[in-house]
Structure 1
């Protein structure tokens, strides 16, 4: 388990999920890079919750205290690893993360940092993945929007299995610089405001 600072100590909360860290080249390198950046609180989900029993109050406190939430993971079956999906299911609850009284994350940023095994050319209508990679982003984008968060332009490394050490070094350097300089990224000046996603009370009847 990572040594986590108090919630107020970090401006960035990074959630890392990889079922087999020993087999990872790029994500493990990015995880180590994030740990070296001041102001970044790192949570290795598979290290912290090997039994999948997530400490929801603690996770909500850390997430609420951050200005930027980072999702770091390899793309598996066009989505995120299972434990990161469970984190979203358990932590981003109605009445806390979204809904009329769910305002804990409003105004924050969410950033996807992901790797794919397939090369960028494979994410093309003529490639074996059949779609541009953007086609797989709406669940992330809408999760952020429903919580009142801005979804920032993702940082992706395609073809991670075959990436050279030089490519990984350059990618990690960009990642570290982004972590250090958020929210002062030039392209964020032109990023549209988060769309309003009002959830009618009738869509979420009271629990009994």
Structure 2
């Protein structure tokens, strides 16, 4: 039996200048069952090839959206990808069951500490509350949304903490974890 295939959509406006997202991307590049797809490099003009992207989605069991948290949401390139790829008849609506039963894994980093994502914190809302639109998107598309992997205070993490997070990411994408939906 072949291991579940994982598609990692990396959404960073400038991956080369990134410390966190670039490190996490490099940490999973050698995994045989993982396809890493840098949206900004593939579509610098934001003209998404929806047919190509839909074919990629069909060929994978787990979909990962890896991104830095921007203005309480996903970076623009991922939002553009969602608008153009997750269409009626493909991802939802009549005949739109291409993603049904696949797993969605969010892997994101924030600039603020975890404590700032609380009712009494600086951002006033928990990450679960802020991620509800993505959870609703997953639900609409029939995707099973896994527990997000979040690295808080990303600009302040040291090399050891970043590597531990990257190791956790690899464990999350390991074939056994992907098969069980852990």
Q: What TM-score, normalized to structure 1? A: 0.82
- Say yes or no: does 1:69 pair with 2:63: yes
Q: 1:71 to 1:177 in 2, by over 3 A?
A: same
- Say yes or no: does 1:183 pair with 2:178: yes
Distance 1:23 1:83 in 2: 16
Contact 1:10 1:41 in 2 (8 A): no
Residues 47-58 of structure 1: pairs in structure 2 closer than 5 A: 47-58=41-52
Match 2:12 to one of 13, 18, 22? 18
- Say yes or no: does 1:106 pair with 2:100: yes
4+ residue runs over 3 A deviation: none
Gaps of 5+ in 1: 1-8, 189-208
Residues 92-131 of structure 1: pairs in structure 2 closer than 5 A: 92-131=86-125
Q: What TM-score, normalized to structure 2? A: 0.94
Q: Secondary structure at the match of 1:169?
A: helix
Q: Deviations over 1:86-132 (max 9, x none)?
A: 10000011011101210111110000000000011111222211111
Contact 2:11 2:75 in 1 (8 A): yes
Q: Which has the higher contact order (CA 8 A, sep 6+)?
A: 2
Q: Deviations over 1:120-172 (max 9, x none)?
A: 11112222111111111111111111111100000000000000111001000
Gaps of 5+ in 2: none
- Say yes or no: does 1:135 pair with 2:116: no
- Say yes or no: does 1:40 pair with 2:42: no
Q: Secondary structure at the match of 1:182?
A: helix
- Say yes or no: does 1:166 pair with 2:170: no
How many Å apart are 1:37 and its aligned residue? 1.1
Structure number with bigger Rg: 1
Count the aligned residue pairs: 180
How many Å apart are 1:24 and its aligned residue? 1.7
Distance 1:86 1:169 in 2: 30
- Say yes or no: does 1:29 pair with 2:23: yes
Contact 2:107 2:148 in 1 (8 A): yes
Q: Secondary structure at the match of 1:69?
A: strand
